[in-house]
Chains A and B, each alone.
Chain A
């Protein structure tokens, strides 16, 4: 006896017709006459529907529809600038620009033309100069020699460099050794040199000072000087000095050139 609770539902019959019903439900159709009949009916209906001819709309139908439809203008915004076109060529155009490009025929044509031109330019080949170009250039280039290559250029230069090096190192070593073995003499020499240098410096300063003080304009200045004038003079001199410092700083802080200096 057939279990009616297991009958296929209409949606299951659809699935069966499309071959998508799970296997555990397909087996029911083999034993149930009622469901098999329902499936046959459904298959007939589908076949008849599929056989229906396609009907043409009346003449002027699409024009009639379009006459009643109001096509809203697209929000195109501003036309693309040359910088926008560059950004588009580099694949970096902002979203607003991309929206505009999609909507604006004029900009799209321009962008397409730019892209085609740039592509053609980028496909241009590089040319090769004639044979022996490198040799011809190298024949006229003076290669500077590094100190290392100069030293090792010949046996004589190596010997000379070794001699000079030995002399410098030897004299430095001898100087250090003598200093370590004669500390008292070294100290006495230092003291004597300091005394002499101090005496000479003082004598020179005194000489210069006495010569300046002997000048007639100094004597006039001293007679005319008052504490107030000296203070004012000092203030002016200080202001001039400070101003000079600022001016020098501005001059020295000139911007560095952006480009390496071109050759003449």
Chain B
């Protein structure tokens, strides 16, 4: 049986093959390899540490429980990033709906009705976790990334933070290659503008 040290020298496909053979150490190796990239991607997408942990955990559980259906001709990284991105995007869409509901009931027509039906969110002090988040995601570049559209954000993070090739990003996000290139160039353009604005 391959020791963890030996597993570290194997390719993703070889480790996956061992996992499909029921080797627990191979599962752990896959988690160790991808926990930081996946968690970082999700955290930068949702900007909430606890939520990012939950979504990353959900990503790994889905991926590892479905390891039998993984097709080895595709890169494992593309597959796991695809699941992680889907989880983050789904959450952002749900949160968008929730955010709208905070602004008042849909049938509220006058400003008074909107105010009366809007949920009141109290100001709460920063917990240690929130302080950590502020430290991690508080730099100018992180704040600029946060202002990008989720699709642009996913593309730029996968390209320049995770180091994926354009083709892998297209696979991960189920987008045509041309669209990925366009998104990345627009994201870089917006980031330059946002950073210049933040500097001022």
A contact residues vs B (CB 8 Å cutoff): 82-83, 86, 113-114, 117-118, 120-122, 124-130, 133-134, 136-138, 140-146, 149, 258-263
Q: CB distance A138 to B174 under 8 Å?
A: no
Interface flag for B102 (CB, 8 Å): no
20 examples of A-B residue contacts, CB within 8 angstroms: A117-B191, A121-B141, A121-B156, A124-B142, A124-B161, A126-B36, A126-B37, A129-B36, A129-B39, A138-B28, A138-B31, A141-B65, A146-B21, A259-B74, A259-B174, A260-B70, A260-B78, A262-B83, A263-B83, A263-B86
Tell me, rounded to whole Å, the shortest Cβ–Cβ distance linking B56 to chain A.
Answer: 6
Given A146-B22, A259-B174, A118-B160 contact (CB < 8 Å): yes
Interface size on B, residues (CB 8 A): 53
Binary flags per residue of B156-200, CB closer than 8 Å to A gives 1, else 0: 100011010000001100100000010001001001100100000
Query: In the complex, which of the residues B27, B60, B142, B181 has the most CB atoms of chain A within 10 Å of its own CB atom?
Result: B60
Q: CB distance A261 to B69 under 8 Å?
A: yes
Excluding A121-B156, A146-B22, 5 further A-B contacts by CB distance (< 8 Å) are A121-B160, A121-B161, A124-B142, A126-B161, A260-B70
Interface flag for B43 (CB, 8 Å): yes
Kindly state the separation between the CA atoms of A142 and B64 in the bound complex, as whole angstroms.
Answer: 8
Interface flag for B5 (CB, 8 Å): no
Within 8 Å by CB of B27, from A122, A125, A129, A141, lies A141
Given A128-B39, A258-B171, A137-B142 contact (CB < 8 Å): no
Smallest Cβ-Cβ distance to A124: which chain B residue: B161
Within 8 Å by CB of B40, from A83, A126, A133, A146, lies A126
Tell me, rounded to whole Å, the shortest Cβ–Cβ distance linking A165 to chain B.
Answer: 21
Within 8 Å by CB of B57, from A118, A125, A133, A262, lies A133
Q: Which residues of A contact B86 (CB under 8 A)?
A: 262-263
Ranked 4 nearest A-B pairs via Cβ: A121-B160, A126-B36, A146-B22, A260-B74
Binary flags per residue of B56-75, CB closer than 8 Å to A gives 1, else 0: 11001111111011110010
Query: In the complex, which of the residues A121, A127, A128 has the most CB atoms of chain B within 10 Å of its own CB atom?
Result: A127
Q: CB distance A262 to B171 under 8 Å?
A: no
Q: Which residues of B contact A258 (CB under 8 A)?
A: 170-171
Tell me, rounded to whole Å, the shortest Cβ–Cβ distance linking B149 to chain A.
Answer: 16
Kindly state the separation between the CA atoms of A262 and B39 in the bound complex, as whole angstroms.
Answer: 19
Kindly state the separation between the CA atoms of A259 and B174 in the bound complex, as whole angstroms.
Answer: 7
Kindly state the separation between the CA atoms of A129 and B57 in the bound complex, as whole angstroms.
Answer: 9
Q: Which residues of B contact A129 (CB under 8 A)?
A: 35-36, 39, 52-53, 56
Q: CB distance B71 to A260 under 8 Å?
A: yes
Tell me, rounded to whole Å, the shortest Cβ–Cβ distance linking A208 to chain B.
Answer: 45
Kindly state the separation between the CA atoms of A262 and B82 in the bound complex, as whole angstroms.
Answer: 7
Kindly state the separation between the CA atoms of A86 and B182 in the bound complex, as whole angstroms.
Answer: 12
Tell me, rounded to whole Å, the shortest Cβ–Cβ distance linking B171 to chain A.
Answer: 5
